[in-house]
Amino acid sequence: MTSIKIKFRPSVIKNKEGVIYYQVIHNRVVRQLNTKYLIFVHEWNEKNETLIIDKSLRQSYLSVIQKSIEFDIRQLYSIINQMVQSQRRYSADDIITKFLELQKEQSLFNFMQGVITLLQQLKKYRTSEAYMAALRSFMRFREDRDILLDDINSDLIQMYEAYLSNKGVTRNSISFYMRILRAVYNRAVDKEIIINQKPFKYVYTGIDKTIKRALPFAKLKFIKNLNLLLQPSLDFARDIFLFSFYTRGMSFVDIAYLKKRDISNGILSYRRRKTGQQLFIRWEPCMQEIVDKYDNSLSEYLLPIINPNCGNERKQYQNTMILINRRLKTIGKMIDAQLPLTMYTARHTWASVAKNKNIPISVISEGMGHDSEKTTQIYLASLETSVVDDANAQILKDL
């Protein structure tokens, strides 16, 4: 019988951080495995043997440590399972030795977890979540058995591609995972940890064209005119959907983080959280109608999506987005939409309607804030904001 416990050793120096360590217990023999994770006494729950992560300046730091601890524990139990399956005698020391070897020899799981931790520290949360999803997928393929970076070859990656395909994963999703793994692998090459064996040369890493997710303009008007007064949750979802359309397909995360101070002199300015690009939108009456509809006077945020007094703001917007997308699907059924209605549909619809009005693709691209990776700009590198605003006003006038 083997178990792992998470422990904390306070510093003997007052007001100095102590260290997290693990106890590996096998056949009543206890061994200690030190970590580099440092925390203060008040950040540790001794009874539950867990971190205390409250809303403070160290919240992000502690969240990174928590994820790293969870990864370590998962890897330790994976090592234990492998040793059990081998049916050979092993000790607590053997478990620790194997764990340290994997860390020293730059295994994929450990190296990738380090990249994810760095992304979180840089506050690139969406990218870190994408990398974590790719890591978990590859870990399932490997049945939690880690592998050295130097042992990754084209045969293994082709087997992973076949595994995903057999699971029914779409071609674009497979490519998504492959591109992330390739980026991690190339990072290890750049650090001269390994020599590039080009393991991704035989797998697909492109992007297929996807089915259009835009609503016909008539359906959009139908949504706008729905009487949802007796269904406030659907009403709110519809309004946020329309607000996205009004603001040239603004993404939900950007809507959630809009603040009242972002509107000045009739201009809404915000920076896309995905790309960092700053956009300026002329504030239209239809936008103000939605803001006026919801009393959010006690908050700095423009719309009642995030409450600064209710814990993790990122979790709040993610949970609200899930609820809104769920309610939009209900609205989609009410209007007999031929596609699942989500917040992303508003973005596609704005682009589609703009194109149908013969607005130049370069104007559409500028209005949506496309970056160089997703750009459809083919005529101009940038436009006057007034040109984009005129295009938006032209669309909104007919709604």
Q: Which pLDDT score is estimated for 387?
A: 61
Whole-prediction pTM: 0.61
pLDDT for the residue 209: 59
Q: Which amino acid is at 280?
A: F
The CA distance from 194 to 162, in Å, is: 25
Cα 233 to Cα 294: distance, rounded to the nearest angstrom:
12
Taken in order 183, 189, 195, 196, is the CA torsion positive or negative?
Answer: positive
Q: What is the pLDDT of residue 231?
A: 95
Q: Output the pLDDT for position 250.
A: 94
Determine the pLDDT at residue 211: 54
**Three-state SS sequence of the chain:** CEEEEEEEECCCCCCCCEEEEEEEEECCEEEEEEEEEEECHHHEECCCCEECCCCCCCHHHHHHHHHHHHHHHHHHHHHHHHHHHHCCCCCHHHHHHHHHHHHHCCEHHHHHHHHHHHHHHCCCHHHHHHHHHHHHHHHHHCCCCCCEHHHCCHHHHHHHHHHHHHCCCCHHHHHHHHHHHHHHHHHHHHCCCCCCCCCCCCCCCCCCCCCCCCCCHHHHHHHHHCCCCCCHHHHHHHHHHHHHHHCCCCCHHHHHCCEHHHEECCEEEEECCCCCCEEEEECCHHHHHHHHHCCCCCCCECCCCCCCCCCCHHHHHHHHHHHHHHHHHHHHHHCCCCCCCCHHHHHHHHHHHHHHCCCCHHHHHHHHCCCCCCCCCCCCCCCCHHHHHHHHHHHHHCC
From first to last of its 399 residues, what are the pLDDT tens digits of the chain? 899 999 999 999 988 999 999 999 999 899 999 998 999 999 999 888 899 988 777 887 888 788 889 888 988 998 998 899 888 899 999 999 988 887 776 889 989 988 998 888 887 888 888 999 999 999 999 988 888 898 999 999 999 999 999 999 989 899 999 999 999 999 999 988 888 999 999 999 887 655 557 888 889 999 999 999 899 999 999 999 999 999 999 999 999 999 999 999 999 999 988 778 889 999 999 999 999 999 888 899 999 999 888 878 888 988 999 999 999 999 999 999 888 899 989 988 888 888 778 777 777 777 777 654 444 432 233 344 556 777 788 788 877
